[in-house]
Amino acid sequence: MHKAIHLLGLAVLCAPLALGQSKRIEVTNLLDHPFLVDFPSGSQLSLRLRSGDFRIVGRDDNKVSVRVGAKDPEKAREVKVRFERIDNSAELNVSGGPKNDIQITIEVPRATGLFVRMPAGQLEVSDIQGDKDIQLHAGELIVGVGDPADYSHVEASVSTGGLEAAPFRESHGGLFRSFHKDGSGKYKLHAHVGAGDLTLR
């Protein structure tokens, strides 16, 4: 009887894994242990980033990588990456490390849906096709949008600062500036900066 109950308990614990396998990886000391994992093209990736200087760039294969460049390599070893994947979605968290003189580059499959949240700093996103939901509390956000015709809905705003979007023929500055566009494409774009500058190009 006890054995049957034990086996039933194991079955209950394992049931969620059968529905969606979870894979979790944590890495520090990226200089000696580069971060590179498989991630299928066309999937959804959520990024929770520390403040700083980040580049998110599309790549041609089905991989996600994180690279760190810093004036002080020893301090760069303090950067921590946590990656958790469930089926065709994943969350990537980057934390730790020095506040200044460091640039972090994240490469993802070119066809990836992005959800990005970052407190402050400079964030540039380029060469990525898919839905994009990106918010920066303070600093500069630059998003490469590609062909404007690829989007069904575009929503961009700044609470205070500058908003430049040449592909959509929009230019605004000041307090609470925004614009919305609807089209016949298949992607959605939401970009917001609290205090600073937002550029869509």
> Which pLDDT score is estimated for 21?
63
- For residue range 122-151, what is the model confidence (pLDDT) as tens digits? 999 999 999 999 999 999 999 999 999 999
Question: Does 142 reside within a domain?
Answer: yes
Residues 38 and 81 in one domain: yes
> Which pLDDT score is estimated for 23?
86
Higher pLDDT, 22 or 97: 97
The total of structural domains in the chain comes to 2
- In the listed set 81, 111, 141, which residue is the last one of a domain according to the structure? 111
- Mean pLDDT for the stretch of residues 37-59: 98
The model carries a pTM of 0.87
Distance between CA atoms of residues 72 and 79, nearest Å: 12
> Which pLDDT score is estimated for 75?
82
Residues 104 and 135 in one domain: no
Spatial CA neighbour of 51 closest among 133, 128, 117: 117
Could you tell me how far CA 32 lies from the centroid of its own chain? 23
**Average pLDDT over all residues of the chain:** 90
Domain that includes residue 137, residue range: 131-201
- Mean pLDDT for the stretch of residues 63-72: 93
Residue 22 has pLDDT above 90, yes or no: no
The least confident of 32-36, 60-64, 70-74 is: 70-74
> Which pLDDT score is estimated for 11?
41
Question: Does 4 reside within a domain?
Answer: no
- Type of residue found at 6: H
Residue 191 has pLDDT above 50, yes or no: yes
Residues 103 and 176 in one domain: no
Residues 97 and 49 in one domain: yes
